[in-house]
Structure 1
Amino acid sequence: MGIIMRRSMDKYYLDYYRMTGEQYKPGIKSLLQRCLFHNLQFAYYFRKYKERPGLLSRLMLYRLSRKYGLEISPNAQIGEGIYLGHPYNITVNEGSVLGKNVNLHKGYTIGRTNRGNMGSPVIGSCVFIGVNATVVGNIHIGNDVLIAPNSYVNIDVPDHSVVIGNPAVVHPKENATESYVCFLV
């Protein structure tokens, strides 16, 4: 995957690889997977809307958002290779920036704060965010970071770290996301 992908649909092919572990090949299998699995459906219409905003892709995003509780703003900057594991009740604020190879799981919130550390988070590459974790504020999450389930993060997190608890406690660890973030793009 050494080719630089610029178009949004090229990013969808990378999302497809992250979620299935297979190269995208146009055909009946990939079409059925996109139609049957809502994480692939959402990624497809999200990337399609980013490439060329249209009524159909916007309506499909709205429908999938309402059906599965996915509040992922089309204005959020999401890098290639997003992985939506058990995608229900995920919230991503419109000012948020996510890097490459980010795993999001059920109940996750990336939010903006309007007091104190005002703003939205910037999340690096190769980040695993566990179930029901919350990341808020004008903070920076480094690369190769694992945020444990049910953690509340409102502080900067350096590269190669594991974040646990509420309030967040940062533990340095090399290869923090090894075996958690797979099929890198």
Structure 2
Amino acid sequence: MSSFSSDLKKYKKYSKNKSLLVLILTNQGLWALFVYRISNAVYHCKLPKIIIKVLLVFAVISQKWIEIITGISLPYTAQIGAGFYIGHFGGVIINPSAKIGTNCNISQGVTIGVSGRDGKRGVPIIGNNVYIGANAVIAGKIVVGDNCVIGANSLVNVSVEENKTVLGVPAKVISDNTSKNYI
């Protein structure tokens, strides 16, 4: 649960040091992350397979409940690094095979999903320290490098080198600014 501790620290920092109790009671992103972190830990634990399968039934029910009340879908099979931050609740969809690095921020309405055909079909790999703006879609067998900024309402369907800012539909590199001031 050290990943969840990192998540909590980030939420506390962004909230101007509100109490943890207030954050936990009022922040839907934290609810979704808490259920994800527990479910993911169960998925990766070293217990007998039958026990894991039983526990995963409860994990799936919990995740569906969180998805219904928050609009945030974080499947337990996704790989999400520590220090993850969901800026606002609602409309966040992450593919079960997605990989997201550490210290990333995403806003409401973000989709990280599958796209492509044949050998190009796949799911994105998101690097560390990536900021993803509201309503952005990142889809396909692509890599978004470390320290990138994905602008709001962008469609990213090609790989992005590290330390770039992209914007548009389809997204194009618009600057060499990094995510430093966003995260």
TM-score (norm 1): 0.83
SS of structure 2 residue aligned to 1:21 = helix
Q: Which residue is equivalent to 1:14?
A: 6
Deviation string, structure 1 residues 143-169 (Cα, Å, up to 9, x no partner): 010000000000010011000101111
Structure 1's consecutive aligned runs of 4 or more residues displaced over 6 angstroms after TM superposition are none
1:35-50 alignment runs, 5 A limit: 35-50=25-40
Deviation at 1:172, TM superposition (A): 4.2
Q: Which residue is equivalent to 2:96?
A: 94
Q: 1:156 to 1:124 in 2, by over 3 A?
A: same
Q: 1:52 to 1:31 in 2, by over 3 A?
A: farther
Q: Distance in 1 between the 2:179 and 2:64 partners?
A: 32
Q: Which has the higher helix share?
A: 2
What letter matches 1:43 in structure 2? L
What is the RMSD of the two structures over their aligned residues, measured on CA atoms? Answer: 1.8
Q: Distance in 2 between the 1:81 and 1:71 partners?
A: 17
What letter matches 2:62 in structure 1? M
What letter matches 2:165 in structure 1? V
How many residues are treated as equivalent by the alignment?
Answer: 166
Structure 2 gap ranges (5+):
44-54
Q: Distance in 2 between the 1:58 and 1:18 partners?
A: 26
SS of structure 2 residue aligned to 1:91 = strand
Match of 1:105 among 107, 119, 144: 107
Q: Which residue is equivalent to 2:50?
A: none
Q: Which residue is equivalent to 1:52?
A: 42
TM-score (norm 2): 0.84
Report sequence identity in percent. Answer: 28
Q: Distance in 2 between the 1:148 and 1:46 partners?
A: 26
Structure 1 gap ranges (5+):
1-8, 23-28
